[in-house]
Amino acid sequence: MAARDESGEARPSVAAYFADLDKHATPFLTALGQVVVAAAALENNLQLELARLLKEEEPEIGSEKLDKRLAELRTLTAGKLLGRLRERGLPEDLQRRIDDAVDRRNQLVHHLYEDPVLLRAVMRNEPPDDAIGQLQGLALDCAGLSVELQMFALAKIEDAFGGPKQELLDAVLSLDPEQIADPAERNLLEAAQALKAGADWSGGTDPTRWDHRITVDWMGEQIETLADLLRPGLRAVCIGINPSPVSVEAGHYYQGRIGRRFWQRLRQAGVINDAGTGREDDAAFISGIGFTDIVKRPTPRAEAISAAEFDYGREALAERLRRYKPSVLIFAFKKPAVVLFGRFDGCGFRPDLELSGAQVFVMPGPYERKDRVAAGLEALRDLLFHLERART
């Protein structure tokens, strides 16, 4: 419905304004929005750590004085916040990397049209893959630094809490989001719980060492596998047969030779952008693409999977999909789709197939002809583009 200005004239709604954006502009603006959100989160974490230090430095500070100090913090730029933290002993390496991320954010905000990569993306009607990759890289760095800053603070919070920080983490992550009245706080808790479910923090404060290895019970046997990267609001979920040992060892999805071809094709289709070898699933998850498998037990070849495992995995997968309700299922290869639906001809978008309310897209085979691959990837790009417009 159109809004009206002071003169009473109808003016287009925000939704109508964006309705004419083409399929290249939408992912670019989405990536730009991811930077804004991640950079704001990083700045909020700088404020939070300074607030904690203020309370630590002045334990008897009154609430009125503390409110004034906190109000002052909210007026400071990220650079000034960082400067105050530096004076209070923030590790030099962490400070340097946050400083770099803030500089890149400022460069983006104040000098967007001076960056040749971003300028080409804005001016040309073509897939802005390089620009989106650059934006998503900055968003990932800001998000990782936010968590790293929290991990640095946790060691000091541990002393104030009077117990191991793992107990504090467990206490927070065990909260029921439905019991949190504030929507923003509820969303933060749900995001933290999704991150904990899908990432192993054994790398400590080094985000490049985080991975998705997890030990689970699979049909009565404890196995090391990859965690499901699933959460509410996903636009698509990629489904494989089972993780390869190479991928489990790396801690990230599709790291084998043929698996890496899958990433290449998703980039060609404009579904994801390059976030550095080995971290593609992280970038994809941020942009709304999830990952899971029918069978969680890793094997070098699918032939090693028993019929009983497929039956067990089918039921568990259907339950996960009913819970998270993605719009589209992307089958990395045809075989997992055949396992679920039986034999069928061809690949691409399959309007005749459906699972737990989601539409089905089957990726072209790894050795398919180039023209058929190109046509299939164009169909995937169009499917996701039209679904995204329908959601907005």
Token output for 188: 């933060």
Query: Rounded distance, CA 336 to CA 328, Å?
Result: 15
Is 189 a domain residue? no
User: Does 111 map to a domain?
Assistant: yes
Average pLDDT over every residue of 24-33? 74
The domain boundary, picked from 128, 145, 174, lies at 174
Parent domain of 57: 22-174
Give the residue with greater pLDDT, 15 vs 95. Answer: 95
* Mean pLDDT of all residues belonging to the chain: 78
Q: What is the pLDDT of residue 127?
A: 56
Smallest Cα–Cα separation from 243: which of 235, 233, 251, 234? 251
Kindly state the tokens that stand for 193: 């719980």
Question: Strand 3-4 vs strand 10-11: parallel, antiparallel, or unpaired?
Answer: antiparallel
Residue 362: per-residue pLDDT: 93
SS3 content of the chain, % helix, strand, coil (to 5): 60, 10, 30
**249: confidence class by pLDDT, cuts 50, 70, 90:** very high
Last residue of a domain, one of 125, 152, 174: 174
Scored b (16 or more CB within 10 A) or e, 76-112 reads bebeebbebbbeeebeeebeebbeebbebbeebeeee
The answer to whether position 92 is within a domain reads yes
Q: What is the pLDDT of residues 66-98, one digit of tens each?
A: 778 778 888 888 888 888 888 887 778 788 888
Strand residues in 339-386 grouped as ranges (E): 348-355, 358-362
Beta bridge partners of 216: 223
Question: For residue 203, is it within any domain?
Answer: no
Decide if pLDDT at 105 tops 70.
yes
Q: Are residues 247 and 332 in the same domain?
A: yes
Q: Is residue 274 part of a domain?
A: yes
Q: Same domain for 53 and 111?
A: yes
Q: Assess whether 220 and 87 both reside in one domain.
A: no
Q: Cβ distance 145 to 41 under 8 Å?
A: no
Are 240 and 108 part of one and the same domain? no
Output 132 or 243, whichever has higher pLDDT: 243
165 shares its domain with 230: no
**Considering the domain boundaries, does residue 166 fall inside one?**
yes
Look at residue 385 and tell me if it is in a domain: yes
How would you classify residue 252: left for phi > 0, otherwise alpha for psi between -120 and 50, otherwise beta?
A: beta
- Can you give the pLDDT at residue 165? 53
- Beta partners for residue 358, in sequence order: 355
**321-373 pLDDT, tens per residue?**
998 889 899 998 899 999 999 999 888 899 889 888 899 999 988 788 888 88
* Two tokens, residue 376: 């299939």
- My answer on whether 132 and 221 are in the same domain is no
Q: Which residues contact 185 (CB under 8 A, 6 or more apart)?
A: none
Same-domain pairing of 219 and 157: no
Alpha carbon distance 109, 270 (integer Å): 24
Alpha-carbon span 380 to 382, nearest angstrom: 5
- 186 or 207: which carries more pLDDT confidence? 186
- Picking from 174, 199, 234, the residue at the C-terminal end of a domain is 174
The token duo for 258 is 């043929």
pLDDT on residue 205: 41
Count up the domains in the chain and report the number. 2
Q: Within this chain, do residues 368 and 259 fall inside the same structural domain, yes or no?
A: yes
> Domain holding 235: CATH number?
3.40.470.10
The answer to whether residues 217 and 161 belong to one domain is no
Per the model's pLDDT, the better-predicted residue between 378 and 21 turns out to be: 378
DSSP per-residue codes, 170-232? HHHHTS-GGG--SHHHHHHHHHHHHHHHH-B-TTTT-GGG-B-EEEEEETTEEEEEEPPB--T
Q: Are residues 164 and 227 in the same domain?
A: no
Nearest residue to 259 via CA among 363, 347, 348, 339: 363
CA 209/CA 200 separation, integer angstroms: 9
Of 233 and 203, which is predicted with more confidence? 233
Per-range mean pLDDT, top range of 12-21, 74-83, 238-247, 258-267: 238-247
The SS3 call for residue 270 is: coil
In this predicted model, what pLDDT tens digit does every residue of 258-309 receive, in sequence order? 888 888 888 888 777 665 567 788 878 877 889 999 999 999 988 899 999 9
Q: Are residues 35 and 162 in the same domain?
A: yes
pLDDT in tens, 107-165: 877 776 677 777 666 666 555 677 777 787 888 888 777 766 766 665 555 555 555 65
pTM above 0.75, yes or no: no
Nearest to 29 by CA among 325, 389, 374: 389
Is residue 197's pLDDT more than 60? Answer: no
| HSE-CB for 253 with a 13 A CA cutoff | 26
Asked if residue 184 is part of any domain, the answer here is no
Residues with Cβ within 8 Å of 301's Cβ and at least 6 positions away in sequence, in order, are none
Distances (CA, A) of 359 to 158, 242, 328, 353: 47, 21, 5, 7
State which amino acid sits at residue 126.
E
pLDDT beyond 70 at 99: yes
Same domain for 154 and 297? no
% residues pLDDT > 70 (the chain): 73
- Judging by beta carbons within 10 Å of its beta carbon (0-12, 13-18, 19+), is residue 261 exposed, middle or buried? middle
Q: Which residues pair with 215 in a beta bridge?
A: 224
pLDDT band at 220 (very low <50, low <70, confident <90, very high): very high
The pLDDT confidence band at residue 12, using thresholds 50, 70 and 90, is low
